[in-house]
Amino acid sequence: MAKNRAKSNKSSSAPLSHKVIRDMNQAVERHQNGDLDGAHKLYKRVLVKAPQLTDARHYLGLVHYQRGEYSLALHQLERAASEQPENPGLLSNLGLVLTELKRSQQAVGYFERALAINPEFDDARNNLGNALSEVGEHAKAVACFESILTRDPNNAGTLDNLGIALHACGELTKAKEAYERALRIAPTSAKTRNNLGTLLKQQGLIAQSMEQFSAALTADPTLAEVHLNFATALQMSGDIKRAEAHYQQASELQPDIDGAKAGLGQCLLARGQHLQGLTQIAAAEGVIEFSPDPSNLPMVRF
C-alpha cells in the first residue's frame, strides 16, 4: 500500500546560535539528499545544543522511520508531538510509525487529528485510508481514497489503494477498473500490476493474471511476492517447471515468505522428486529435521 510523509515548517521561537542554525541546515540538506547517517549525526548534535528545537526532533524521528527503526522513531515523534500538538505533518508521520508497529487503530486517531487541523491534507487522508484498510474498515478506506480522487483524479498511487480497498469489499469489477486507471497513468507500476494479477487470478482468469505478473517482474524482478503469485498461477496452469523456478526465486528473495516452500514442495512432488518435495513441505510447516520413513514414500516404477 502507498505511504507519504510530510514535514513540519514550525520551529521553536527560542534564540538559536549560528552554529546550531548551520548544523540544522546541513542536517536537512543531507536528509533531503538521502544521507540518513549524516543527517542523524547532525540532528543529534543540534538537539544536544538546542533540545527545544522540535523540528530537529521531528526530523530525527523521520530518519529513524526511514531506516526502519520504528521504536526509536516513535520515541522521538511522540515527544515532538507533545511539543507541537497542532502540527498536522508531525501527527501524520507519527501515525505512519504506529502503522509500521502494527498499531493501526491508534494510527487512525493521529491521521484523523491531522485532518481535523487541515482537511485538505491529502497525504494524511491517504495514510488514513491505508490504516483503515489495515483494521478492516474497507468501506471507510474507499471513501478516503475517493475523496482524494475528486481533487486529484490522476493520482496513480491513490487509484491503486482504491483498488485494494474495493477488492477487500468484494467489489471486483470496480477494483479492476481502479487498477486499470492507475496503469494508464503509471504503466510500469509493479505493485499495481501485481494487485491486478491477483484479482484476475481470483476470478479464474489465469492467463491474464500471468501477463500482469510477468509485466510486474519486468518492471521490478526483486519482488518476492510477485514471484510467489506468478508461481501459483503457473502451477494452476500446469506449468510446473516454471512455477518451481519462481517459488525458488521467491524463497531466495524473502526466505520467510509464506507459501513459497510449500509451493516448491508441491512442484517437486509433481515432478516425482518426492524426498525433496516432502522436505520443502516439512520446512514450510516448521519441522526442523525431516527423516522420512521410506515405507511411506510413493512407489516409483521404472
pLDDT given at position 284: 66
In a domain, 155, yes or no: no
Count of domains for the chain: 2
The DSSP symbol for 298 reads P
| CA–CA distance, 126 with 180 (Å, rounded to integer) | 19
Beta strands in 147-234 (DSSP E): none
Q: Packing angle between helix 138-151 and helix 122-134, nearest 10 degrees?
A: 160
Cβ pair 172, 203 in contact under 8 A: yes
CATH no. for residue 272? 1.25.40.10
Q: How far apart are the first and last CA of the chain?
A: 51
What residues contact residue 238 under an 8 Å CB cut-off, 6+ apart?
none
Place of cell 487529528: 113
In a domain, 193, yes or no: no
Q: Packing angle between helix 224-237 and helix 240-253, nearest 10 degrees?
A: 160
Q: At CB < 8 A and 24+ separation, what contacts does 290-293 make?
A: none
Backbone angles phi, psi at 43, to 5 degrees: -60, -40
In a domain, 284, yes or no: yes
In a domain, 178, yes or no: no
Tell me: the pLDDT tens digits for 41-86? Answer: 999 999 999 999 999 999 999 999 999 999 999 999 999 999 999 9
Give the chain's residues under pLDDT 70: 1-14, 274-277, 280-302
Tell me: the pLDDT tens digits for 103-117? Answer: 999 999 999 999 999
C-alpha distances (whole Å) from 145 to each of 4, 141, 150, 167 are: 14, 6, 9, 13
In a domain, 6, yes or no: no
In a domain, 287, yes or no: yes
pTM: 0.81
- Amino acid in position 185: I
In a domain, 150, yes or no: no
pLDDT given at position 291: 41
| CA–CA distance, 267 with 228 (Å, rounded to integer) | 13
| CA–CA distance, 302 with 288 (Å, rounded to integer) | 32
- Amino acid in position 227: H
- Amino acid in position 225: E
Range of the domain at 66: 50-81
In a domain, 105, yes or no: no
